[in-house]
Amino acid sequence: MVGLLFGALIITSCAPKLQPEPAWELDARALLDQADAFSAKKQYDRALKTANDFFALYPKSKHQDRARFLMGEVRFAMRDYRQALSNYKDLLEKYPASLFIIDAKYKLGLCYFELKEYDLAIANLQDRTRVTDPARLMRTAEVLAAAYVAKEAYLPAVKEFASLADSAPIKQKAGYRERVRELVAKNLTEGDLTALSEGIAYPADLALLRLAGLMLEQKKYREAITLAKNFLAKFPMHPEKTRAEMIETDATAQLSAPRYSLGALIPQTGPAAFYGDRVLRGIQLAVHGYNLKNVDNRVELLIKDTEGSPDKAVAAFSELAPKGMLAAIGPLLTREVEALAPIILQLQVPVITPAASGAGLGELSPWIFRNALTNASQARAAAQYVIGQKLKKIVIMFPDDPYGKDLSRLFVRELEHKADVLATVPYPTETNDFGPYIKRVMEIDLRSRRIPIPEDDAERKKLFQDYTPSFDSLYLPGTADRVGLLIPQLAFYNITGMKLIGSSSWHTPDLLERAGRHAEGAVFTDGFMPENTAPAVKEFVEAYRSAYQEDPDILSAQAYDAAMMVLSLIQEHRDTPKAIRDGLAKLTAYPGISGTTTFNGTGEAQKKVFLITIDSNGFLPVKD
């Protein structure tokens, strides 16, 4: 035991002693701490000066690597990426064992990205084996994805966005998944899609579905069928199952000649293309459902882009009618339908517009039909609701545009003096401040009660603060983004506790987000309600979501119904244009997704308009 202790003493006495840190090194570290503090306060010039003082005073300090990294951080914060790059590179070259190496290499990659040197950015950011911070991993993936997109290297970009969709917080997942969907749909080559589709995990599903669609577009129908079947086998419960079935059905149909033709006259380009897209999706879903059940009497959809132009609509109709088209769905705009009237009478092929709202379109020709919510039908339903609720005094506030003016005029006409219209007040369509227009309503109301409006500003202000309205309802036929701002401002001016009534343009989450609790209890009119729990509506909404990954709107619903009316007549072997026209004219109580429809010998659909109310959970049908 004594020997062991003696040996230990010898070893201890022979070990080299650690040299104490020189006093000046403490001063050097304190100077860097001061530079760090300046940087944290965004006093970047003082931070740089202090760091330069460090280099001048302490050239042999062991904290040289920290100083270089600090210089790089300050330059990076100042967006002086070229100089920051120099500082980081200096650190990497001179101090390869530094604790700041990983951070410096990361920032080096960011500098290269900001300088649009994407290859070097990717080279410095690709290796993430030593990165553990989740926030840095996300930022690295975002920069890499953007760099790949800038280089048009879309396949690795998709993979980076897919990894972000997998690891991001729930609120951000949807945005990354949408980016993946967009790149897969628009940018990946056939080879990229083939490579990506070989897996079974996301986004292999999107790649396989897109590849099947691409084969259909390229008229490689057998390949499209094989790929669509492969998708359905690999992903039998996929939310886009309907889309795959549509591709398979369409490709199969192309291998044999169709028996019938249906036209679609819609804007696919130009300002109205957004609406044309909704209409086309509704028509395509209807044709797909029909062809699934009628393989031997298949219908081919002939699509022509009208661009929203009357001349193009006439040219498209004139081209399709001689090809055996039984009927056409469209066009969408009133001026297009009006331009078609003479040529329709000559070629005698019926058209059903699912969107045009101008007055009297059904009277232009016995071959023109309209399955669309009109301003007249909305105003009528709103007025009937007012009368049914025994509301007595109404104020109308409307946007100063054709839509607002028309609904306001028609609503007043439909009331037929069964309620008193106290005031009709227009407002600019883009206004955010409704105060002046609300005050105008208040002044009209006060004067109607013979209450004088004081000239003195203070007295006027007090009168408005104590104001209580005498009217019991407001008709607000405006867009959701404006009405969503107007309703809370009404509450600010003590205009509360009354019935708010609106139009179909309210039917969007935008209204709920903007108006909040102030909109609860309001009622508006619309021609379609995706929240409807009726089995046929639920089936349509689910199929539409599966096919297009979004909710249907009134245009897609009305287009779907218009197509299904024609297809139901074809199924009854009314397979000539005249038979279709006669069948539509006699159509009674057709159970459509956008409501029960009757034509009663005219071209105007007689439809029940939906009344929808708002509560804390969203939109609900008004109970009869």
Q: What is the three-state SS of 536-587?
A: HHHHHHHHHHHHHCCCCCHHHHHHHHHHHHHHHHHHCCCCCHHHHHHHHHCC
* Mean pLDDT across the chain: 92
Q: How far apart are the first and last CA of the chain?
A: 101
Checking if the pLDDT of 15 tops 70, the result is no
Burial of 35 (0-12, 13-18, 19+ CB in 10 A): buried
Q: Which of 297, 356, 357, 355 is nearest to 326 (CA)?
A: 297
Over residues 370-375, the mean pLDDT reads 91
Contacting residues for 194 by C-beta, under 8 A, at least 6 apart: 207, 211
**DSSP assignment, residue 323?**
G
225 and 113 share a domain? no
Q: Which of 605, 544, 600 is nearest to 352 (CA)?
A: 605
Contacting residues for 462 by C-beta, under 8 A, at least 6 apart: none
In a domain, 533, yes or no: no
| SS3 per-residue string spanning 8-75 | HHHHHHHCCCCCCCCHHHHHHHHHHHHHHHHHHCCCHHHHHHHHHHHHHHCCCCCCHHHHHHHHHHHH
pLDDT of residue 17: 58
**DSSP assignment, residue 466?**
T
Over residues 573-583, the mean pLDDT reads 94
Do β-strands 260-266 and 523-526 pair in parallel, antiparallel, or remain unpaired?
unpaired
Q: Give the residues across from 611 on adjacent strands.
A: 525
Over residues 113-134, the mean pLDDT reads 94
In a domain, 611, yes or no: no
- Lookup: tokens for 600: 């009663």
- Lookup: tokens for 167: 């690891």
In a domain, 132, yes or no: no
- Lookup: tokens for 209: 């579905």
522 and 415 share a domain? yes
In a domain, 403, yes or no: yes
pLDDT in tens, 143-156: 999 999 999 999 99
The least confident of 4-8, 42-46, 138-142 is 4-8
Report d(CA 388, CA 406) in Å as an integer: 22
pLDDT of residue 8: 45
Please compute, for residue 347, the number of CA atoms within 13 A of its CA located in the half-sphere on the CB side. 24
Quote the Cα angle for 497-500-506, to 5°.
140
- Lookup: tokens for 390: 């025994």
467 and 560 share a domain? no
Q: How far is the CA of 49 from the CAs of 17, 53, 174, 238, in angstroms?
A: 37, 6, 45, 60
- Lookup: tokens for 253: 């149909």
User: What is the residue range of 588's domain?
Assistant: 258-372+544-606
443 and 463 share a domain? yes
- Lookup: tokens for 385: 């609701």
- Lookup: tokens for 189: 């080559």
Q: How far is the CA of 24 from the CAs of 28, 58, 68, in angstroms?
A: 6, 8, 19
**Cβ contact 161:187 at 8 Å:** no
Q: What is the dihedral of CA 379, 384, 387, 391, to 10 degrees?
A: -50
Please compute, for residue 548, the number of CA atoms within 13 A of its CA located in the half-sphere on the CB side. 18
- Confidence band of 32 (pLDDT split at 50, 70, 90): very high
Report d(CA 474, CA 325) in Å as an integer: 47
- How many other β-carbons are positioned within 10 Å of the β-carbon of residue 471? 22
Listed residues 92, 125, 158: the one ending a domain: 125
pLDDT of residue 12: 46
**Cβ contact 610:525 at 8 Å:** yes
Radius of gyration in angstroms for the set of CA atoms belonging to the chain, rounded to a whole number: 35
In a domain, 47, yes or no: yes
Phi and psi at 212, nearest 5°, equal: -65, -45
349 and 468 share a domain? no
Report the helix count and the strand count for the chain, using DSSP H and E: 26, 15
- Lookup: tokens for 18: 């650690």
pLDDT of residue 183: 97
Helices 435-448 and 480-492, packing angle to 10 deg = 50
Selected residue with higher pLDDT from 255 and 384? 384
In a domain, 152, yes or no: no
Selected residue with higher pLDDT from 624 and 602? 602
339 and 382 share a domain? no
Helices 241-254 and 273-293, packing angle to 10 deg = 70
- How many other β-carbons are positioned within 10 Å of the β-carbon of residue 484? 22
pLDDT in tens, 73-118: 999 999 999 999 999 999 999 999 999 999 999 999 999 999 999 9
pLDDT in tens, 435-475: 999 999 999 999 999 999 998 989 988 999 999 999 999 99
Selected residue with higher pLDDT from 1 and 447? 447
Q: How far is the CA of 539 from the CAs of 69, 458, 593, 611, in angstroms?
A: 61, 60, 10, 21
352 and 388 share a domain? no
251 and 387 share a domain? no
Report d(CA 588, CA 598) in Å as an integer: 4
Checking if the pLDDT of 416 tops 90, the result is no
Please compute, for residue 191, the number of CA atoms within 13 A of its CA located in the half-sphere on the CB side. 2
**Cβ contact 506:485 at 8 Å:** no
Over residues 486-511, the mean pLDDT reads 94
In a domain, 311, yes or no: yes
Over residues 23-41, the mean pLDDT reads 92
Name the one residue in this structure whose structure tokens are 């920069």: 143
In a domain, 1, yes or no: no
**Cβ contact 190:216 at 8 Å:** no
Q: Give the residues across from 424 on adjacent strands.
A: 396
65 and 91 share a domain? yes
Listed residues 125, 141, 167: the one ending a domain: 125
pLDDT of residue 10: 44
* The total number of residues written for the chain in this structure: 624
Name the one residue in this structure whose structure tokens are 């992903």: 235
Over residues 29-50, the mean pLDDT reads 94
230 and 362 share a domain? no
Report d(CA 465, CA 611) in Å as an integer: 34
pLDDT of residue 526: 94
420 and 463 share a domain? yes
- Confidence band of 18 (pLDDT split at 50, 70, 90): low
Checking if the pLDDT of 2 tops 80, the result is no
Q: Which of 241, 248, 246, 206 is nearest to 227 (CA)?
A: 248
Over residues 417-444, the mean pLDDT reads 95
Checking if the pLDDT of 209 tops 90, the result is yes
Query: Is residue 301 helix, strand or coil?
Result: strand
Listed residues 91, 106, 125: the one ending a domain: 125
**Cβ contact 562:354 at 8 Å:** yes
Percent of the chain with pLDDT over 90: 81
Report d(CA 569, CA 593) in Å as an integer: 17
467 and 550 share a domain? no
Contacting residues for 286 by C-beta, under 8 A, at least 6 apart: 559, 560, 563, 564, 567
pLDDT in tens, 225-248: 999 999 999 999 999 999 999 999
pLDDT in tens, 188-207: 999 999 999 998 889 999 99
pLDDT of residue 22: 84
pLDDT of residue 6: 42
pLDDT of residue 19: 66
The CATH number that applies at residue 120 is: 1.25.40.10
Domain count, the chain: 4
pLDDT of residue 608: 84
The CATH number that applies at residue 381 is: 3.40.50.2300
